[in-house]
């Protein structure tokens, strides 16, 4: 996988407002927030998109969701939306797997 803005955040080559970090992942505020609370949870392991993950990534993928939940609670969210874009046709612009966590406002369905 080629270097991305997210790998540069992991390596501390560019700054980010990091709100959670452990050995497997980190969470940071989205600089193009689409809700009052909008942060990303990314694995430190470079996986370009969800469809590139394999069975060996099962625990990591579950960990990302648990961190999203824990960090949402830390941010005061009871209700929130998770979003994972897979590929350019689904609006993925950074090809490093990431989970968007959005909250702090009502959401409608379908999402656009």
Which of the residues 38, 63, 96, 98 is marked catalytic? 98
Phi, psi dihedral angles at 106 (to 5 degrees):
-70, 150
**Annotation says 98 is catalytic:** yes
The C-alpha angle 103, 14, 6, rounded to 5 degrees, equals 55
Give 81-110 as a 3 state SS string.
Answer: EEECCCCHHHCCCCCCCCEEEEECCCCCCC
Task: Determine the Cα–Cα distance for residues 105 and 112; give it in Å rounded to an integer.
Answer: 16
**Catalytic residue numbers, as ranges:** 98
């Amino acid at each position: 996988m080629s270097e991305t803005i997210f790998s540069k955040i992991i390596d501390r080559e560019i700054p980010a407002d990091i709100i959670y970090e452990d050995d497997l992942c980190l969470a940071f505020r989205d600089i193009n927030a689409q809700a009052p609370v909008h942060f990303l949870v990314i694995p430190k392991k470079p996986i370009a998109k969800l469809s590139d993950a394999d069975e060996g990534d099962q625990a990591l993928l579950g960990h990302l969701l648990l961190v999203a939940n824990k960090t949402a609670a830390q941010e005061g969210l009871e209700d929130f939306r998770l979003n994972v874009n897979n590929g350019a046709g689904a609006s993925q612009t950074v090809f490093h797997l990431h989970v968007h966590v959005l909250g702090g406002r009502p959401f409608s369905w379908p999402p656009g």
